[in-house]
Structure 1
Amino acid sequence: MEPVHVAISALAALLPITNPVGALATFAGLTEGADRAAIKRQALMTGVYVFGILAVFTILGTLVLEGLGIGLPALQIAGGLVVGHSGFGMIVAREALTDDEKTHGVTKPDISFSPMALPLIAGPGAIGVVIALTARHPGVLNRGAVIVAALVVAGLVAVLLRFGTPLVDKLGPTGLGALGRIIGFLTLAIGVELVTHGVLAVAH
């Protein structure tokens, strides 16, 4: 597959899994009452951390698999289950963060790395996807294509968190919930596709 197609596939998979709009609602809640400078800085740093996490696993993820003796089919099945579970949770409107994570996030002076970048945005599902893509499409150019897709997603996250707070107020809980369910359905479909690829690979 051409690197351009790999980049497009990576972008199409990462956008619903990272769910920037859902992250925006959480970010707005956790930074409520903070000054504008702090919100701007944390929005930017969240994007930086998201890119860093995804880029590291894009570059080193297959090495970790080889070191642990994990094959691509097993990763696809495990990653698909994680992604599908995340998507199903969005469809049934399950909370993205636990009560303990929310409490910890509210009391932290900086939420950009945890809980925003990890585990909310660049969590196990997104990490599993970039590792699976680089394992399925090896080569320096294809890894670069996945990194470019990660950069686009991280940039979108940073911009949306920085300027999107009015969107939360405009959509309201009902609008955000409906949008989250649509994204959740797409995420669930990606999870099913990953599991299907893994099962077919094992069968052959």
Structure 2
Amino acid sequence: MQVIAVAGTALGALLPITNPVGALAAYAGLTGDMAPSEVRRQATRTGLYVFGILAVFTLFGTLVLNAFGITLGALQVAGGLVVAHSGFGMITSTPRLDAAEQDHARVKQDISFSPMALPLIAGPGAIGVVIALTARHPGWGNRIGIVIAAAVISALMVLVLRFGTPLVDRLGPTGIGALVRIIGFLILAIGVEILVHGLQSLHVI
């Protein structure tokens, strides 16, 4: 039951940060010139890469913390800032990729790992969250729960990217923009909460 509880906690934390709606909007733009079969293939590869990134940092992320002497509180502060910055960028419609990165992505034949999996979906915010979760819920059994949540997120992302592209055309830029802003506000709030927990852990507040 503990594994299921940790998996549910991890799923709730990762879902808004991985942001399927925002990922779908970016994916639709980057795959606009691809054949339908290639669009589906890229979606599957993206999901596999997302799972691989999150699983690796779930299993070995705390080793990185210990190697560099980083405390959980410091990680939470840094992660909260990254997550809050990401949410604020969504509210203000700031592109998650700069102009050079967008131009490079458009001419790439394979966008599944970069920029889709990293940094758009399993970026610094999501990586920080899984490392913080493993530090807060130690033990390999709990890590299995986080890996399960990562698998669910990855499978959901595959489904959204494979079958959600027509939704972008239906909603149009205005509808997608409204959804992204709403999710961005939630992510901003999550980032602030992570930041507050980190400051409390460091006894700053």
- Report the TM-score when normalising by structure 2: 0.97
State the match for 2:131 in structure 1.
131
State the match for 1:41 in structure 2.
41
What does 1:42-121 correspond to in 2, within 5 Å? 42-121=42-121
Distance 1:65 1:75 in 2: 8
Q: Which aligned segments of 4 or more residues in structure 1 are displaced greater than 6 angstroms?
A: none
Please give the per-residue CA displacement for 1:105-164, whole angstroms capped at 9, x wherever unaligned: 110000000000000000000000000000011011110111111111110111111111
**Residue 70 of structure 1 aligns to a residue in which SS?**
coil
Distance 2:202 2:28 in 1: 43
State the match for 2:165 in structure 1.
165
What does 1:130-149 correspond to in 2, within 5 Å? 130-149=130-149
Distance 1:115 1:179 in 2: 21
Which 10-residue stretch deviates more, 91-100 or 42-51? 91-100
Distance 1:188 1:142 in 2: 26
What is the letter of the counterpart of residue 26 of structure 2?
T
The Cα shift of 1:2 comes to: 2.6
Distance 1:12 1:45 in 2: 23
Distance 2:3 2:198 in 1: 22
What does 1:2-41 correspond to in 2, within 5 Å? 2-41=2-41
Please give the per-residue CA displacement for 1:4-57, whole angstroms capped at 9, x wherever unaligned: 222111111111111111111111111112111211110000000000000000
**Residue 144 of structure 1 aligns to a residue in which SS?**
helix
Distance 1:55 1:127 in 2: 10
Please give the per-residue CA displacement for 1:168-193, whole angstroms capped at 9, x wherever unaligned: 01111111111101111111111111
**Residue 167 of structure 2 aligns to a residue in which SS?**
helix
Which 10-residue stretch deviates more, 4-13 or 129-138? 4-13
State the match for 2:179 in structure 1.
179
Please give the per-residue CA displacement for 1:61-88, whole angstroms capped at 9, x wherever unaligned: 0000000110100000000000000011
- Report the TM-score when normalising by structure 1: 0.97
**Residue 203 of structure 1 aligns to a residue in which SS?**
coil
Distance 1:87 1:13 in 2: 14
The Cα shift of 1:103 comes to: 0.6
Percent identity between the two aligned chains: 65
Distance 2:5 2:195 in 1: 21
Q: How many residues align?
A: 204
Q: Let me know the Cα RMSD of the aligned residues.
A: 1.2
